């Protein structure tokens, strides 16, 4: 009896570390199951699901970032929940409901801090990545959007109500960031992106036309307005969705970006911020993502064309292929070196895996109304 | 007694997977200990060594690549040895001596194949990444140099004796690559590099002046000669070492490259391949590496200036800082998002870790005459 009890205890202790759990984490990923409030843990190499982490609350528009060791993910839920999960043990580690309504987050380049941009009550809260204890609370008198990690333990964020960009520098003191505030950016920033080198922060405006670029390499940061007609109302074609700026891409010195309310992709010279070409598309673009080798841009669409994908040539700006993976293609995630792409086909409860060159279907994984797909290599990239 | 025996058995089974072994692999790395024929396994987050893997043979000029899961490394030794090591268990998994003398290797973007470029007997051998069984033997009638992984399960390599570039395409059949051969590249290619997007393969020539760029996006690939004076003999200043082309970097549309035999860094416009600026340096540059945010280029030097590092501004091309870490600074490796840099200080048997912004020393690790430092995020990058 004593033997049995001891054996059971030993097995319990050993169970989180069974031999099949000893594995690298460079080829893992998480898929957001929005309706179910769960995350599917996937293995890229096996093209298979490993398990599920449940109970994450409201995951509409959820996003996540990874710890530098690619073991933990920080999940930002729309309900203000910040959840840390362990993808190796597939368990929730910690969860705090840190606000009433939040819109996204970022992890500092040293992996020590996680910041969340909040709608309600607004501002940014910064947490210790290990413990999720509150480190800094930075009210900004506004809802905040487009938070990103800039190099040097900094976070950059835009304020919806006041039209500002704030740079929080945590490099000398985690609890008391040095704040740089840029005023007069424009009316109602609704989203923003930081380029992969951490140099350019680009802000989309809801309250007026045009876009704003902040060059973080200059001191003080240099603010430039560009594309003065971007977002112009077109009454004959309703805008189903303002495109997320994370749907932009930078390839070969060009930005490829979805045109608001148009069936077009815009090509903008990154050096002088002028439009140089347009590509006609099969619908209203949502994400325009460069394949990691930058040779092609892959585009998905708003309803009613969200069953399609188009592949556009970066050199010629011509559409190379039109694919029809299925109903509700919400998100695309490329393998880090671009060999394959994973597609969320929400309305068919599955993720489809395609070869990025032959376009052939390589595999399929069942998932509950999948939306965002996040591979662990994101841990090593800036501006996500 | 039976209880004790069972307990011992259970502990044995559990030992390869002790709790402290269950960990992510995104923040690990390997440091080559050239004289000792060993690898030091390091943890970036802890700034500490975890252990050592021994018995790898001749590791002069050794390099390595990682499996997509960031668990296994493939080490290319000068003695023709190809060794697969497990960085989690810190054990050698397999080792084959596949040639008499080899110069480097690469892993395909799907992680299935490992290719080795050989001096003796020449050509390229391709191995199954799982088993290290020979998959393809491609004799080329020449020593081979500068092998790199190109997107689409391809390898690119240059031939020293015959002045060619070969592209091996394994996308349809691993055992029988489709071969594209480019002849008349130039006399005696001695090294080559592939840009991070996999587009441009740049070949250095020993037998004549100038450099060659192969644009792999064009069909057929387009060959361009440039910098016609690069490598020109300068009798008043002996060349201690032909700079490795892996010491080049691409930042903000510019190549920064070490000038052969000169105390200068050359800046070349990547679009038209013309020289646009030079920066005077403290010695003969060996590696000129961009910090991951591309804001600065860090340079180390050949003897007698190999105790120094210089940091150069990418916008102004001016030297910002001159550091003196110690004797024999052989290699620099940046954390993936650039927060810190690790430096091999060979002649002082240590690795020094510095903050890339304040330049302060953050830590130090003992190592036996360390040379190359390789972090696991390389698994996700092209052209390494």
Residue ranges and CATH numbers for the domains of chain B are: 98-237 (2.130.10.10)
* Weakest mean pLDDT among A76-80, A86-90, A153-157: A76-80
pLDDT tens string B260-315: 888 999 999 999 999 999 999 999 999 999 999 999 999 999 999 999 999 999 99
pLDDT band, residue A242 (cuts 50/70/90): low
Residue A213 above 70 pLDDT?
yes
Cβ–Cβ of B23/A69 closer than 8 Å?
A: yes
A164's tokens:
């500002």
B17 reaches A (C-beta below 8 A): yes
Cα–Cα distances in angstroms (integers) from residue A187 to residues A142, A160, A211, A214, in the given order:
12, 8, 10, 15
**Under DSSP, is residue A348 helix (H, G, I), strand (E, B) or coil?**
helix
Residue A360 CB coordination number (10 Å): 10
pLDDT band, residue A234 (cuts 50/70/90): low
Alpha-carbon distance A107 to A384, whole Å? 9
Cβ–Cβ of B109/A338 closer than 8 Å?
A: yes
User: Which pLDDT value is given to residue B11?
Assistant: 36
CB-CB contact of B337 with B27 (8 Å): no
User: Which pLDDT value is given to residue A10?
Assistant: 38
Return the residue matching tokens 């668990």: B71
Alpha-carbon distance B163 to A225, whole Å? 50
Beta bridge partners of residue B213, listed in sequence order? B202, B224
Average pLDDT over residues B49-55: 96
Residue B358 above 50 pLDDT?
yes
Q: Which residues of B322-351 are buried (b: 16+ CB within 10 A; e: fewer)?
A: ebebbebbbbbbbbbbbbbbbbbbbebebb
**Gyration radius from chain A CA atoms:** 21
pLDDT band, residue A15 (cuts 50/70/90): very low
Residues of chain A above pLDDT 90, percent: 78
For B98, list phi and psi in degrees, rounded to 5.
Answer: -100, -5
Cβ–Cβ of A22/B26 closer than 8 Å?
A: no
Average pLDDT over residues A362-375: 97
User: Which pLDDT value is given to residue A162?
Assistant: 97
Cβ–Cβ of A22/B337 closer than 8 Å?
A: no
| CA A70 to the chain's CA centroid | 16
Residues of chain B above pLDDT 90, percent: 78
On average, the pLDDT of chain B sits at: 90
CB-CB contact of A222 with A203 (8 Å): no
Cβ–Cβ of B25/A25 closer than 8 Å?
A: yes
* Weakest mean pLDDT among A90-94, B135-139, B217-221, B250-254: B250-254
| CA A63 to the chain's CA centroid | 6
Cβ–Cβ of B197/A88 closer than 8 Å?
A: no
| Sign of the torsion angle spanned by Cα atoms B70, B71, B72, B77 | positive
User: Which pLDDT value is given to residue A90?
Assistant: 96
On average, the pLDDT of chain A sits at: 90
Q: Give the CA angle between residues B19, A45, A198 to the nearest 5°.
A: 85
Cβ–Cβ of A380/B26 closer than 8 Å?
A: yes
Alpha-carbon distance B374 to B27, whole Å? 11
> Which residue of B4, B22, B26 is the best one to mutate when testing the A interface, meaning the one whose CB has the most A CBs within 10 A?
B26
Judge residue A376's burial from the number of C-beta atoms within 10 Å of its C-beta, 0-12 exposed, 13-18 middle, 19 or more buried: buried
User: Which pLDDT value is given to residue A359?
Assistant: 98
Smallest Cβ–Cβ distance between B382 and the set A21, A71, A293 belongs to: A293
pLDDT band, residue A102 (cuts 50/70/90): confident
Residue B10, H or E segment: helix B2-14
pLDDT band, residue B218 (cuts 50/70/90): very high
CB-CB contact of B227 with B206 (8 Å): no
pLDDT band, residue B234 (cuts 50/70/90): low
Cβ–Cβ of B70/A24 closer than 8 Å?
A: yes
A133's tokens:
């204890």
pLDDT tens string B74-124: 999 988 999 999 999 999 999 999 888 888 999 999 999 999 999 889 999
A362 reaches B (C-beta below 8 A): no
CB-CB contact of B211 with B204 (8 Å): yes
Residue B21 above 80 pLDDT?
no
B160 reaches A (C-beta below 8 A): no
Q: What is the pTM of this model?
A: 0.93
Nearest chain B residue to A199 by CA: give it. Answer: B293
Alpha-carbon distance B123 to B125, whole Å? 7
Average pLDDT over residues A359-381: 97
User: Which pLDDT value is given to residue B155?
Assistant: 98
| Region class of B241: left (phi > 0), else alpha (psi between -120 and 50), else beta | beta
| All residues at 6 or more sequence positions from B108 whose CB lies less than 8 Å from its CB, including other chains | B114, B115, B129, B149, B153, B154, B155, B170
> Which residue of B5, B24, B86 is the best one to mutate when testing the A interface, meaning the one whose CB has the most A CBs within 10 A?
B24
- Residue A324 Cα, gap to closest chain B Cα (Å): 23
Alpha-carbon distance B256 to B239, whole Å? 19
Q: Give rounded-to-5 percent helix, strand, coil for chain B.
A: 10, 50, 45
A43's tokens:
């293995």
> Which residue of B90, B380, B382 is the best one to mutate when testing the A interface, meaning the one whose CB has the most A CBs within 10 A?
B380
User: Which pLDDT value is given to residue A174?
Assistant: 74
Structure ipTM? 0.92
Average pLDDT over residues B178-193: 94
């Amino acid at each position: 009896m004593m033997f049995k009890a001891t054996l059971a205890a030993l097995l319990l202790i050993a169970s989180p570390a069974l031999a099949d759990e000893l594995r690298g984490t460079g080829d893992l990923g998480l898929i957001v199951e929005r309706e179910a409030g769960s995350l599917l843990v996937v293995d890229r190499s096996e093209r298979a699901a490993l398990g599920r982490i449940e109970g994450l609350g409201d995951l509409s528009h959820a996003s996540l970032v990874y710890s530098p060791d690619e073991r933990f993910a920080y999940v930002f839920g729309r309900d203000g929940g910040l959840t840390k999960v362990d993808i190796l043990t597939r368990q929730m580690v910690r969860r705090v409901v840190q606000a009433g309504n939040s819109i996204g987050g970022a992890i500092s380049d040293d992996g020590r801090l996680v910041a969340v941009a909040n709608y309600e009550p607004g501002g940014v809260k910064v947490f210790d990545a290990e413990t999720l204890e509150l480190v800094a609370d930075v009210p900004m008198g506004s809802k905040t959007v487009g938070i990103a990690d800039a190099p040097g333990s900094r976070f950059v964020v835009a304020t919806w109500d006041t039209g500002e960009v704030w740079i929080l520098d945590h490099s000398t003191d985690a609890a008391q960031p040095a704040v740089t505030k840029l005023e007069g950016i424009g009316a109602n920033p609704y989203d923003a992106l930081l380029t992969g080198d951490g140099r350019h922060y680009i802000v989309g405006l809801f309250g007026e036309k045009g876009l704003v670029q902040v060059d973080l390499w200059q001191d003080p940061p240099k603010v430039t307005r560009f594309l003065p007609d971007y977002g112009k109302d077109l009454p004959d074609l309703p805008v189903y969705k303002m495109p997320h700026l994370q749907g932009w891409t930078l390839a070969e010195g060009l930005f490829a970006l979805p045109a608001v309310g148009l069936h077009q992709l815009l090509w903008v010279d990154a050096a002088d911020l002028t439009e140089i070409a347009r590509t006609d598309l099969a619908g209203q673009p949502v994400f325009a993502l460069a394949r990691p080798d930058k040779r092609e841009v892959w585009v998905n669409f708003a309803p009613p064309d969200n069953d399609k994908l188009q592949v556009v040539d970066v050199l010629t700006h011509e559409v190379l292929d039109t694919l029809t993976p299925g109903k509700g293609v919400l998100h695309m995630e490329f393998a880090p070196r671009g060999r394959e792409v994973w597609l969320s086909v929400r309305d068919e409860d599955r993720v489809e895996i395609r070869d990025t060159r032959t376009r052939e279907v390589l595999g399929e994984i069942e998932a509950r109304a999948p939306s965002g797909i996040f591979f662990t290599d994101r841990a090593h990239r800036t501006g996500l």
